Amino acid sequence: MQSEVLIEAEKLTKKFGDLVAVDGISFKILKGECFGFLGPNGAGKTTTMKMIHCVLPSTMGELTVAGMDVARNGREIRQMIGVAPQEDNLDPDFTVFHNLIVYARYFDISKAEAKKRADELLNFVQLEEKRDVIIEHLSVGMKRRLILARALLNEPQILILDEPTTGLDPQARHLIWSKIRSLQKQGVTIVLTTHYMDEAAKLCDRLIIMDRGKIIEEGNPPDLVKKHVGEEVLEVAHDEKVMRLLQETFQGARLEVVGEKIHVFTNKSRGVFAQMLREVPFKEAVIRDANLEDVFLKLTGRRLRK
Amino acid sequence: MKLSNVPSHFRIPKLSYRVWKVWMRDRDVLMKTYKTTFLPPLLEPILYLLAMGFGLGGFVQLIDGESYIQFIAPALVAVSMMFSSFFECTYGSFVRMYYQKTFDAIIATPVSLEEVIAGEILWGATKSLINSTIVLGVIAAFGLTPSPLFLLIPPISFLVGLLFAAIAMCFTAISPTINSFEYPTFLFITPMFLLSGTFFPLTALPASLQILAQLFLPLTHAVTLARGLVLGRLELTLLLNLAWLLLVTPFFFVLSINLMKKRLIK
């Protein structure tokens, strides 16, 4: 069955003066999937999100949401999208409940319906006990959950989550993840940016990796891992002799020195490292599953970004 | 300003009923904090009436046949229109735009940025209406509203508020930081507070300054209108004051929305 394309970008470009924030990217997001935008800071993820929900006009290229052009149908598109931004922009003058009521008004939701939805959503994000608390008395995690609830007030078909779990403790992250999964089950299309690779691997059906405004890779997480870093990674203590031995043993493998360790990536099948360690017991040797973080660092490098 | 930029500064914004949703948000905040926000407009005019009216007024001869306290009372109403709307749409709007990111939150909904700014300006005008009506009540309580025409002042205060809110929003659009508002306050608002026929008749100024005040200081028109209505002195020139306000207000209203768009939508 051919899935319906909900969001489509064709050579989408955004310039701020001389700075090219998004550089001619093309992608298709299908209805009902969880689609991730990964990339280091400054890659252009948030800029792309803002163009999708029509608060930032594009400089060049095409962008349609549900078949509508973002330049012409901004209002209609924003009516069907829920946005949970990176930063806390809750209204500090209001209580938790009143934040939702005021926000519902912007979507022309009637007062009675707004109250009903607000209570349901507070229940959904487990904030019912904080219903009448002023925003400044909430923890960071509670604010994130409230922002998620606010993004769901208009019963959106598309939910945009810009770094939904940045700065949260593990409990709060897991709660947000479980909510995202249950929303996807209800048929909501999720568009998410993150720089947590475990988050992307857990949630995303497909993702693109961006760097400096361009898409440098796309696919589903397991395929990307297999393609770029194989199935397993061997980490051993760094030593010149060990390095030479590894180079001889694993010809064609990628050897990377990371701090005090050597990381060995190979496209050979699972088990080759274990077999080798039985013959040559290296110091501090660890075999682990290859993951998306390995892919990300391979593609975007280890240099720090501004 | 480049010549090619001129038309875009005066593009007529597309507005809908959603403007009122932004206005309602600001109203809701006021309703939550009214105990503290209603106190200054109530107490400030009393202080001025006591200090300047009774105190200073004892040393001042009658102006146009009026006591000094009667002369300044309507001016205090006009001044409160200016202060309340100007500060609402400078400091108040800047905090909502820059620190609270309230505008960002609203424009992610079907409400557009133009509507957010228009709603803020309407709210500034409403603050002018509320505060100046309180001041009007105070001077009425002091027995300083001889003519029933003073009841026409509230609708005028909305118009005056609209103008000052729109001017304020222009400054908000170009201010890099919240401290930048010191400049318009010191260079524009304070001189106007003192030189618009508020505490002494405009005719006491040199002729050239009188003309400048009438051409460029919106408060002179608000003061003249308020004084004319409070004293029941209807002159045809009051229509000129009204016309000035009606002409200049749309200019700044449109300009402020376009300047804000330039600031916020890159």
How does pLDDT run across A138-171, given as a tens digit for each residue? 999 999 999 999 999 999 999 999 999 988 889 8
Q: Confidence band (pLDDT; 50, 70, 90) for A16?
A: very high
**Cβ–Cβ below 8 Å for A106 and B32:** no
User: Residue A272 is which amino acid?
Assistant: V
Burial B8-28 (b: 16+ CB within 10 A, else e): eeeeebeeeebbbbbbebbeb
Give contacts of A 66-125 with B, CB under 8 A: 74-76, 78-79, 81, 83, 85, 87-94, 98, 102-103, 105-108
User: Among B16, B106, B109, B113, which would you mutate to test the A interface (most chain A Cβ atoms within 10 Å of its Cβ)?
Assistant: B109
**Segment among A190-199, A292-301, B240-249 with least mean pLDDT:** A292-301
pLDDT for residue A2 = 58
- As a whole number, the mean pLDDT across chain A is 91
Task: Over range A252-260, report the average pLDDT.
Answer: 83
Task: Over range A89-105, report the average pLDDT.
Answer: 96
pLDDT for residue A150 = 97
Q: Which two tokens stand for residue A296?
A: 């990300």
pLDDT for residue A162 = 94
**Placement of tokens 């005040």 in the chain:** B213
Q: B104 to chain A: which residues are within 8 Å by CB?
A: 55, 85, 87, 89
Please give the share of chain A, as a percent, with pLDDT higher than 70: 98
A-B contacts (CB, under 8 Å):
66
Contact present, B109 and A103 (Cβ < 8 Å): yes
Residues 6+ apart with CB under 8 A from A174: none
pLDDT in tens, A45-78: 999 999 999 999 999 999 999 999 999 999 999 9
Q: Confidence band (pLDDT; 50, 70, 90) for A305?
A: low
- Cα distance between residue A38 and residue A16, in whole Å: 21
Question: CB-CB: which of B21, B33, B109 is closest to A78?
Answer: B109
- Cα distance between residue B153 and residue B157, in whole Å: 6
Q: Kindly tell me if the per-residue pLDDT of A246 is higher than 80.
A: yes
DSSP state of A290: -
- Cα distance between residue A53 and residue A75, in whole Å: 9
* ipTM associated with this complex: 0.90
Host H or E run for residue A63:
strand A60-65
pLDDT for residue A268 = 80
pLDDT for residue B1 = 44
- Cα distance between residue B26 and residue B49, in whole Å: 31
- Cα distance between residue B30 and residue A93, in whole Å: 9
CA dihedral A40, A46, A48, A50 (to 10 degrees): 180
> In terms of pLDDT, which residue wins out, B239 or A234?
B239
Tell me how crowded residue A161 is: count the other CB atoms within 10 A of its CB. Answer: 27
> How is chain B split into domains, by residue range?
14-264
- State the smallest CA–CA distance between residue A229 and chain B in angstroms: 39
Give the DSSP letter string of chain B: --GGGHHHHTPPPP--TTHHHHHHHHHHHHHHHHHHHSHHHHHHHHHHIIIIIIIGGGGS--BTTB-HHHHHHHHHHHHHHHHHHHHIIIIIHHIIIIIS-HHHHHHTSS--HHHHHHHHHHHHHHHHHHHHHHHHHHHHHTT---SGGGGGHHHHHHHHHHHHHHHHHHHHHH-SSGGGGHHHIIIIIHHHHHHSSSSS-GGGS-HHHHHHHHHH-HHHHHHHHHHHHHHT---THHHHHHHHHHHHHHHHHHHHHHHHHHHH--
Q: Which two tokens stand for residue B142?
A: 């002091």
**Cβ–Cβ below 8 Å for B25 and A102:** yes
Q: Kindly tell me if the per-residue pLDDT of A172 is higher than 70.
A: yes
pLDDT for residue A1 = 47
Residue B29 touches chain A, beta carbons under 8 Å? yes
**Cβ–Cβ below 8 Å for B100 and A89:** yes
pLDDT for residue A247 = 84
pLDDT for residue A83 = 97
- State the smallest CA–CA distance between residue B256 and chain A in angstroms: 19
Contact present, A103 and A153 (Cβ < 8 Å): yes
**Cβ–Cβ below 8 Å for B102 and A79:** no
Residue closest to A103 by CA, chosen among A153, A50, A38: A153
Q: Confidence band (pLDDT; 50, 70, 90) for A13?
A: very high
pLDDT in tens, A197-231: 899 999 999 999 999 999 999 999 999 988 888 88
- State the smallest CA–CA distance between residue A257 and chain B in angstroms: 42
- The tens-digit pLDDT sequence of chain B (266 residues) is 444 555 688 899 999 999 999 999 999 999 988 877 788 888 988 999 998 888 888 888 877 788 999 999 999 999 999 999 999 999 999 999 999 999 999 999 999 999 999 999 999 999 999 999 999 999 999 999 999 999 999 999 999 999 999 999 999 999 999 999 999 999 999 999 999 999 999 999 999 999 999 999 999 999 999 999 999 999 999 999 999 999 999 999 999 999 999 999 88
